[in-house]
Amino acid sequence: MATAPVDKDSHLYLVDASAYIFRAFHALPPLTRASDDLPIGAVSGFCNMLFKLLEDLKGDERPTHFACIFDKSSITFRNDLYDQYKANRSEPPEELRPQFPLVRRAAEAFAAHAIEKEGFEADDLIATYARQAEAKGARVTIVSSDKDLMQLVSDQVIMLDTMKNKTLGRDAVFEKFGVGPEKVVDIQSLAGDSVDNVPGAPGIGVKTAAQLLDTYGDLETLLERAEEIKQPKRRQTLIDNADLIRISKQLVTLKDDVPLDVPLEDLAVQDPDPDTLISFLEEMEFRTITRRVREMMELEGAIETAQPAADPIDRSKYICIRDFAELEEWVARATKQGFVAVDTETDSLDSIAANLVGVSLALSPNEACYIPLAHIDPDNAGDGDMFGADPPRQIRMADALRALKPMLEDPSVLKIGQNIKYDLSIFATHKINVAPIDDTMLLSYVLNAGKHNHGMDTLSERYLEHKTIPFKEIAGTGKSQKTFDQIALDKATEYAAEDADITLRLWQVFKPQLRTEKVTTVYETLERPLVPVLAKMEQEGIKVDRDHLSRLSSDFSQRMAALEADAYEQAGREFNIGSPKQLGEILFDEMALEGGKKTKTGAWQTDADVLEGLAAEGHALPRTIVDWRGLSKLRSTYTEALQAAINPKTGRVHTSFSMAVAQTGRLSSTDPNLQNIPVRTEEGRKIREAFIADEGNVLVSADYSQIELRILAHIADIDALKNAFRDGLDIHAMTASEMFGVPIEGMDPMV
């Protein structure tokens, strides 16, 4: 047992374990052990709570002393004071009883001291430890939401509700009882407690009790002056039940001088024994938390190995796996280790069109491999064993994926990738659902959202001081550039295995920083869960009406032709309407319009601002050009480009969503960009009509107006917003109406 002195720099955490067991049992879904149907739901909740608590508490919040406090038995000294104390409590549910000893074992496995004492409740032990620590100047956090413990809250003592992730201090106590912590006992003495069968004063609740104490100061003064109370019934209740109220005070007052079997100093935090903890979690068959605990322990032990100076990248150590038995060995090692870096090599950057060429894995720095699956010989030469021009010997793709699939889908093995969304899509094509995952690109983004490039090459140079192999170095450039399936295996192995190796090293750098920077929750609950969702959205795509786009494109072409004819007539001759140079010469040299400005190269400026200004002065040609350019952009950027983007196999458009771009956390859409489909003009709305749903389905549009603004209106209680939503008004039109002083009926959508 670790020992450390307690002083003003100490921070004691006391977990109200017995209360948490009941709360977890009733709040969480039932869970049984697969091997024998043993109920383990409360044990699972307790283990996850402890792990998250110990993982998240860093910096000033990091505990120096830690203990889980349990009730020893249901009979305590309070039963001697009042034999009906807790008499109406029913026996614990049958499914919960076998979990009590398991939760105690869980606490011990986590090296979180399990404390209990015959004849006293857990609350009394918590009170004793808290007051001792407080007297030594230490901070105390009581992990509980139990109202009975609120009497302990002070400037140094707070409570933490882990299920709601909420800290409870003096304000929370006042909100609950209407008084400060020092008067909680008096409130409970009057109001009683039906759960614990504390009698109190019949008919007096918390609110009335708070009013009485506000008038008379404290319980004893109130009882002594009860005859002064104006309300007859209330006055008689206090007079008749004075003795019972005083007994209630003894029942609700926590005993803070319990003789302790384990001194406060012996509650010093200590690291759990890895074998003991992992063994217990595996015995319980908690696969996910077992993997997370193993990952954390491996990280803490291996973090230094990621530093470039200590272990530089050595590509000569990478291996190419072409034998099935060797692949099985790597899969077994990855499964046993509990985490592995994974990367796919394909023949295209488009995850929907790409074909899988190979897979690389990394188990530790410099321990990486490449598994070629679909490399070809451009010259169709005969089979050979050596790296180079001959067709390479490879494991049959179906066999390799059959070996990889169980590990890639194993919930106890963490798969680490760089932009792993792409790899999820590739594996999904082969009916492999990769999970659980970590993404080094996302880790970097969460830690440094203000930086613009979270690509692997940049991250490698920035954090590992290593320059990766450029793709053009092995594949060439331009029209002669090879696809990855044409790369010789020696070069392919170095390139692909390096990707996995670097990904693993970056993970070892970034993952611990989540805890130190206190952004674990952001990553694990907001960013990472979105990855498989977006991957699925990309794979699904959106249906587009090609015929509708084709008709629009034809209509735009005809209107552009008519505008061209108008432009020629207005200019007095034909010219290249798409040429800024020729247009400038016509406007400012031939037509001698005023206000023209030249660029540094001597050409006339003919951008949108210039043309709009001239059109506002009443000149016809600039307006014609503006209209022509608008249609030209709609045609080239949308009606033609969207038709070209339709996947011939699926008949749908598959965009790519990027998570690590905008500092605000907003997604971006590329190839094609579906975020900027115009909506404010009639033509733009017609383009949007090309996006359709399959038969039997509908498309639903919900932007920040439908979601965030309604939440804002409710939380902020903004009458104008709430009324606008109730009346079905366009919130944008309403805002513009207020800003410009124009009746909402007269608002133009373009405003």
pLDDT (mean) for 423-444: 96
Residues 6+ apart with CB under 8 A from 686: 552
Task: Return the amino acid letter for 337.
Answer: Q
CA distance 410 to 436: 8
Which pLDDT belongs to residue 76?
Answer: 86
Which pLDDT belongs to residue 307?
Answer: 42
Q: Is the pLDDT reported for residue 167 higher than 80? A: yes
Which pLDDT belongs to residue 381?
Answer: 37
CATH 3.30.420.10 intervals, the chain:
300-530
Which pLDDT belongs to residue 704?
Answer: 64
Adjacent-strand bridge partners of 76: 119
CATH code 3.40.50.1010 for 11-177+254-267: yes
Which pLDDT belongs to residue 640?
Answer: 94
Which pLDDT belongs to residue 52?
Answer: 83
Which pLDDT belongs to residue 663?
Answer: 63
CA distance 444 to 683: 41
pLDDT (mean) for 463-480: 91
Name the architecture of domain 543-667. Answer: Up-down Bundle (1.20)
**Residue 365 near residue 315, CB atoms below 8 Å:** no
% of the chain beyond a pLDDT of 90: 63
What would the pLDDT profile of 634-657 be if each residue is shown by its tens digit?
Answer: 999 999 999 999 999 899 999 999
Which pLDDT belongs to residue 305?
Answer: 37
What would the pLDDT profile of 305-361 be if each residue is shown by its tens digit?
Answer: 334 434 789 999 999 999 999 999 999 999 999 999 999 999 999 999 899 999 999
Q: Is the pLDDT reported for residue 42 higher than 90? A: yes
Place of tokens 């043993």: 38
- Counting every residue written for the chain, the total comes to 751
CA distance 190 to 245: 6
Q: What is the mean pLDDT of the chain?
A: 89
% of the chain beyond a pLDDT of 70: 94
Q: Which two tokens stand for residue 414?
A: 């963490």
Closest among 361, 427, 426, 456 to 660, alpha carbons compared: 456
- For the beta carbon of residue 339, count every other beta carbon within 10 angstroms: 23
Which pLDDT belongs to residue 309?
Answer: 39
Q: Is the pLDDT reported for residue 388 higher than 50? A: no
Helix (H) / strand (E) containing 436: none
- For the beta carbon of residue 595, count every other beta carbon within 10 angstroms: 11
Q: Among 309-313, 340-344, 363-367, 391-395, which is the least confidently predicted range?
A: 309-313
CATH T-level assignment (fold) for domain 300-530:
Nucleotidyltransferase; domain 5 (3.30.420)
Highest mean pLDDT among 162-166, 195-199, 705-709: 195-199
Higher pLDDT pick, 417 / 383: 417
Per DSSP, helices labelled H in 165-315 are: 170-177, 184-191, 206-216, 219-224, 232-240, 242-252, 274-284, 287-302
Q: Is the pLDDT reported for residue 748 higher than 80? A: no
CATH 1.20.1060.10 intervals, the chain:
543-667
Q: Which two tokens stand for residue 525?
A: 């609950």
pLDDT (mean) for 232-237: 92
Based on DSSP, count helices (H) and strands (E) in the chain, helices before strands: 31, 17
**Residue 672 near residue 459, CB atoms below 8 Å:** no
CATH 3.40.50.1010 intervals, the chain:
11-177+254-267
Which pLDDT belongs to residue 700?
Answer: 86
Residues 6+ apart with CB under 8 A from 198: 85, 188, 192, 248, 251, 252
Q: Among 241-245, 249-253, 291-295, 574-578, which is the least confidently predicted range?
A: 291-295
CA distance 697 to 65: 57
pLDDT (mean) for 176-193: 94
Q: Is the pLDDT reported for residue 484 higher than 70? A: yes
Q: Using CA atoms in the order 159, 164, 165, 171, what is the torsion angle rounded to 10 degrees?
A: -40
Adjacent-strand bridge partners of 268: 65
Which pLDDT belongs to residue 382?
Answer: 40
DSSP 111-143: T-EEE--TBS-HHHHHHHHHHHHHHTT-EEEEE
